[in-house]
A and B are shown apart, each in its own frame.
Chain A
Amino acid sequence: MDQQGLRDIEYRCIQEEQPACQAACPLHVDVRKFMALVRAGDMAGARKILDRTLPLPTVLGRVCDHPCQPHCIRSPIDASLAIGGLERTVINATGPAAKPLSMPGKGKRAAVMGGDVSALTVAWDLGKKGYGVDVYLAGEAAGGHLLTLATLLPPGALAAELDIMGRMNVAFHPGQRLDRAAFERFCTEYDAVYVEMLDTNFLSLGREGVDALTLGLPGHDGVFCGGFVAPGQPLSAISLAGEGRKAAVSMDRYLAGVSVTASREREGACPTRLFTNTEGVIPIPAVAPAEAAAGLTPAEAGTEAARCLDCQCLECVKSCAYLARYKGYPKVYARQIYNNLSIVQGSRSFNQMINSCTMCGLCTELCPEDFSMADLTLAARRDMVSRDKMPLSAHEFALEDMAFSQSDRFTLLRHAPGETASAHLFYPGCMLGGDPAASVAGVYAFLRETLPGGVALGLACCGAPAWWAGRQDLAEAAMAQFREAWEGLGRPRLVMACASCQATFARMAPEVPTISLWRVFLEETGLPQSRGALPAGPVAVHDSCTSRYDAESQAAVRAILGSLGVDVAELALSGRRTECCGFGGLQANAHPELAATVIARRAAESPHDFIATCSMCRDRLAGTGKRAYHLLDLLFPGGSGDPAARPDPGFSYRHEARARLKRTLLETVWREPQSPETPPAVRLVIPDAVRRVMEARHVLDTDVARTIAHAEATGRKFTDKATGRHLAGFATARVTYWALYELIDGAAHIHAAYSHRMNVSGVDRQEG
C-alpha cells in the first residue's frame, strides 16, 4: 500500500464527510457541535462555534439566511432544525461583539473596494490575519444591504463589529469614488485588491470573468473580485460572506507567496457524501417560539436543538464489535494500519488490530461506499508476513490445527468403495469433521444412495486458516495438494457442508465446481427419512459469514427448515448481512477476548434457539451457553441427548474426532481394519474448569500429555512436599507447556496447565 493507495482506501470511508447542513453552509459552520452545545444549555460554548467561523458574528449570526436548513435530513421526517433561529437565540443570549484574536502585523496591505458583506468579510479575515486593510466606501457608512435589515439587527450591532474591525488593522474610508482610476491607483499602492461587484461595476465584469476557484481577475495579479449579484435573486448575506471568505483565502495565499489554487475544492457550499441512517427516527415537531417576534428562548432552543440527529455514518461500526473496539472508524483504521506497516523501528501497536478483523465482509455490505476492512487487513497481514513482521503467536495455533487436518491423521480423498469414477465428492470440512456429534458417515451414506454417478469422499483442509493468516504460500499449497487428488478422482463436483471451504474454493480454485449440501438436499436428493428431535419453537438461523453471497444456499436452509415444519424467526442481521461468529479471519486466535464478545453479542440477538450450518459457528454459539443446533442435527441425528445443549467440544476433542472419523469411515465404509489406537502414554483426567482455561490458553491435551510423559520418563519434575502434586515443564520447538498434576491410579489428574513462548534456560527441551 503506497500513499496513493492509502488515500484511495481512505476516500471510501465517508464518516469524516460534513453533515448536510455544514456542507450547505458557504462558511461551513460546525452545526453538529453547535447543536450539541445548545442542547446542553451551553450558550457561551455555542457562541464560540459561531465566533470561530463567522465574520462579524453578532451581525452575521442574526442576518444569516440559513441556506443550510432545507438540507437538514430531518426535513423529510418532520421538519428541518431551525438552524437560523437558533443562531439568533445564541447571539441574543450571549454578550456583545468581542475582538477575535488576530495575528501580529505582516507589513502588507490590501485595499477593499465596497462595503457590503463580501467586502466586510474580506476585511475581517485579512485584518485578523495581520494585514493592514483599507476599505473604500462609495457611501457614508459600511454595511451595504445590512443597513436595510433593521428588523433583524438591533441598533448598534453593526457599529460594534465595525468598531472592532477598526482595532484589527481595518480602516474605513467613506465617500470615495469607486471607479477605474481609483482601482488603477490601488493596484499600484497596495499588495492586493478586492473589488466587490455588488454596487459598482466599473470593470464591466460578470462572474464568468473571474477565476471560479480563486476569484482572481485574469491579467491582474493580486486582484480578486466577488459579490456578484444574479439579477432578480435576493441578496444572501451568508453567500456574500462565503464569496468574501473565498477571496480572502486567495489574497492571504497570494500575499504569503504560496499556491493560490491548491486544495480548495471544499470551499463554499459543497456536496457531501455523508450517509446517515434515519431508519427508526421518531418524528418530533419543530419547536415554535411562544412569542414569535422574540424568537426561540434559550430553553426552547435547547428543546429544538435536541432534535438534531448529530449526523454520522458509522453504519459499519454500529454493527461490528471489532470496529467499535478500537474507538475509530475505517478511515482512521486505514491510516493507523498504513502507519503500522511503515514503522521501521519501534513498537507496532496496531498488529493485534490488524489481526483481529474477522474479514467477514459485513462492513462492506453496510457501507454506502463498499469499504472493505477485510481487503485492508488481508493486505496488511500479507505485507507483514512478506516482511517477516507477523507476530508468531497471532495465527500459529490455527496453522498448526490446519496442519493436523492436512496430515494423514485426517486427510482422506477417494472414490466410494467399489467405484472407479465419481461425479460428486462429499466435502464435510475439517470443522464438521471435528464435531464428535456430527453424522458425517450418515450424510455420506445418504448421498451415495441418492446421487447418481458415484460419490467420492474428501476429508481435507481447504486452507482457509492460511488465507486468513495472510499465508498465501500455505493456502496455495493446500489447494495444490487438493487439486491433484481431485484431478485424480476425475474432477468431481464438490458437495460442501462448510461455507468457508466453499468460499475458499471459489476464491482459490474457481475451476472446481461446488454446491452446498443444503442445495443438494433441496434440489437433488430430497431430505432423508431420518429425523432428529426438532426444536420446540421457532429458531434463529445464523448464516455463516462465508455464505454471505450464497443466497441460494441460504434460501435452501430455510426451505429445508420449512419442510421440517420448523419456523424461522429471522435475525435482524442475516442472509447477505449476517454476522461472523468470531472464528472468521482467525479473530479467536489473535484476540480471544474480542471474539468472545462478538459471539456473546450474536447469541443475545435472539431469544430463540439458534440453527447454524457451520460446525464452528454452532460450537461457538453453544460456548456462550446458547442453545444451538447444527442443521444436520435435525436431519441426521448423531449422538445421544439434546443436540442443541451439547457444549463446544473444544480444540483437543476436535482433533481426536477428526482422527477417529477417518478411522471409522475406513473401517465401516471401506472395510479396512484399522490397527488399534495407540494408547496414550499417560491417561489424563481434566476437570471441566481446568479444560476451559486450557481451551482459552490454546493448550491441547496432547501438549499436557507430552510434558507429563517426559517428566515421568525422566523424573525431571518438581514435587510439592505439602500436597504431593507435581509440576513439570517441557519445551517444544516454539512453546513451553507446563502441567500441574497428581498421579492417582496411574492417571494424571490435571490441576493447571499453561504455556509460554519465551525460552527459559533451566527448562528441558524436546529434541529435534
Chain B
Amino acid sequence: MNDTPIYLPESGDWQCAACGQDLVPAPVGVTYLQGGFTITLMTCPACHLSLVPEFLAVGKMFEVEQLLEDK
C-alpha cells in the first residue's frame, strides 16, 4: 500500500502530452544532498513523467532543501 505523502496539482485536468494518457498517482523518488524520500506525484502511467506542482516546489520542497543544506 502506498502511504507516502501525496502532492496533487491544485487545479487542472492534466494529461501527458507525449503519451496522451491521463496521469495517475505514483510513488516517485526525490533526493537532495544526503537526503532521500519517496513521495506520490501525478505521473504518466506509460512514460513515468512526473508532475511537480508549484506549491510543492516553492513550499515543502524548498523547506526540506534548506534543512538538508543546513545539516
Contact = CB atoms under 8 A, between A and B. Distances in A.
B58 A348 contact: no
B52 A391 contact: no
Contacts of A351: 69-70
B28 A760 contact: yes
Contacts, number: 107
A718 B9 CA distance: 12
Given A349-B70, A391-B70, A757 B50 contact: no
Interface string B4-45: 000000001111111000010010111111000000010100
A758 B15 contact: no
A752 interface: yes
Q: Is the interface of B mostly helix, strand, loop or mixed?
A: mixed
A394 B66 CA distance: 10
A653 interface: no
Nearest to A729: B52
A348 B18 CA distance: 44
A641 B54 CA distance: 37
Nearest to B51: A718
Nearest to A391: B69
A756 B69 contact: no
Nearest to B22: A721
B23 A718 contact: yes
A718 B30 contact: no
A762 B48 contact: yes
A760 B50 contact: yes
A718 B16 contact: yes
Given A348-B70, A351-B69, A722-B13, A761 B32 contact: no
Contact of A727 (B14, B26, B28, B64): B14
Contacts of B41: 760, 762
Among B28, B50, B67, B70, the one with the most A-chain Cβ atoms within 10 Å of its Cβ is B70
A756 B12 contact: no
A489 B61 CA distance: 50
Nearest to B33: A392
Nearest to A693: B58
B32 to A, nearest CB: 4
Contacts of B62: 756
A763 B43 CA distance: 10
A393 B70 contact: no
Nearest to B50: A762
Contacts of B17: 711, 715-719, 726
A758 B32 contact: yes
A740 B56 CA distance: 15
B15 A718 contact: yes
Contact of A760 (B47, B52, B71): B52
A603 B70 CA distance: 33
B33 to A, nearest CB: 8
A336 to B, nearest CB: 13
A756 B13 contact: no
A764 interface: yes
B67 to A, nearest CB: 7
A347 B70 contact: yes
A405 interface: no
A518 B18 CA distance: 59
Interface residues of A, number: 41
A755 interface: yes
Given A348-B70, A392-B69, A759-B30, A720 B58 contact: no
B54 A718 contact: no
Contacts of A764: 49
Among A352, A721, A754, A762, the one with the most B-chain Cβ atoms within 10 Å of its Cβ is A762
B48 A714 contact: no
Contacts of B28: 760-762
A697 interface: yes
A721 B69 CA distance: 38
Among A391, A738, A757, A760, the one with the most B-chain Cβ atoms within 10 Å of its Cβ is A760
B19 to A, nearest CB: 9
A715 B49 CA distance: 11
Contacts of A729: 51-52
B52 A720 contact: no
A220 B28 CA distance: 79
B69 A738 contact: no
B14 A758 contact: no
Among A349, A393, A726, A757, the one with the most B-chain Cβ atoms within 10 Å of its Cβ is A757
A736 interface: yes
Contacts of B47: 716
A723 interface: yes
Given A351-B69, A718-B14, A752 B54 contact: yes
Contacts of B43: 762
A393 B15 contact: no
Given A738-B54, A761-B30, A721 B67 contact: no
B49 A762 contact: yes
Interface string A724-750: 011101000000101010000000000
Given A348-B70, A393-B65, A716-B18, A758 B13 contact: no
Given A754-B57, A756-B62, A761-B28, A738 B13 contact: no
A740 B53 CA distance: 10
B65 to A, nearest CB: 5
B8 to A, nearest CB: 13
B2 to A, nearest CB: 15
A732 to B, nearest CB: 15
A711 B58 CA distance: 21
A719 B28 CA distance: 20
B49 A736 contact: no
Contacts of A755: 57
A348 B66 CA distance: 10
A722 B12 contact: yes
Nearest to A720: B12
Interface in A373-392: 391-392
Contacts of B16: 718
B29 A756 contact: no
Contact of B31 (A348, A723, A758): A758
Contact of A756 (B14, B26, B65): B65
Given A346-B71, A347-B71, 9 more contacts: A352-B66, A391-B70, A392-B69, A715-B17, A715-B18, A719-B14, A754-B58, A760-B29, A761-B28
Interface of B: 12-18, 23, 26, 28-33, 41, 43, 47-52, 54, 56-58, 61-62, 64-67, 69-71
11 contacts: A347-B67, A697-B58, A716-B49, A718-B14, A719-B15, A720-B15, A725-B12, A756-B62, A757-B61, A760-B50, A763-B50
5 closest A-B pairs by beta carbon, nearest first, are A762-B50, A391-B69, A720-B12, A715-B18, A756-B57
